[in-house]
């Protein structure tokens, strides 16, 4: 079983809509989670990190963590074409490395 799973998409939303990206994880010991954005041909860049249950907001982005249900989500409000990218979810279980999902490809349609 993969440590972190994501729907590969593609997910298409119209400009201005809310994009919802979801991720589940298998290890209940996972302590912290990260969302990375990766544009085609580029390296991943950190969008959000979340450590506690609940919501964490940063501008148009909101990360949500539910440890009981073992899922993490990322909401992007007022989606823009520039948000079109692959979004990678990652979890850390007190070990040294991150376990990454395969990513969800998001397309925001103008």
Partner 1 sequence: GAGVSQSPSNKVTEKGKDVELRCDPISGHTALYWYRQSLGQGLEFLIYFQGNSAPDKSGLPSDRFSAERTGGSVSTLTIQRTQQEDSAVYLCASSPFRGETQYFGPGTRLLVL
Q: CB pairs under 8 A, 24+ apart, for 64-69?
A: 65/33, 67/28
Provide the binding-site residues for partner 1, judged by CB under 8 A.
Answer: 6, 32, 34, 42-46, 49, 88, 90, 92, 94-103
Output 16 or 51, the one with its CB closest to partner 1.
51
- Rounded distance between C-alpha atoms, residue 32 and residue 52, angstroms: 8
C-alpha closest to that of 91 among 23, 42, 20, 43: 23
Phi, psi of 31 (to 5 degrees): -110, -30
For the CB of residue 92, give the shortest distance to partner 1 in the complex, in Å: 6
For the CB of residue 108, give the shortest distance to partner 1 in the complex, in Å: 20
For the CB of residue 15, give the shortest distance to partner 1 in the complex, in Å: 25
């Amino acid at each position: 079983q993969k440590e972190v799973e994501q729907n590969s998409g593609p997910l298409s939303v119209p400009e201005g809509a809310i994009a919802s990206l979801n991720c589940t994880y298998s290890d209940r010991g996972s302590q912290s989670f990260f969302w990375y954005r990766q544009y085609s041909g580029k390296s991943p860049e950190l969008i959000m990190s979340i450590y506690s249950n609940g919501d964490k907001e940063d501008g148009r982005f909101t990360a949500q963590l539910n440890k009981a249900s073992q899922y993490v989500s990322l909401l992007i409000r007022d989606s823009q074409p520039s948000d079109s990218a692959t979004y990678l979810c990652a979890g850390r279980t007190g070990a040294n490395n991150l376990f990454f999902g395969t990513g969800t490809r998001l397309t925001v349609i103008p």
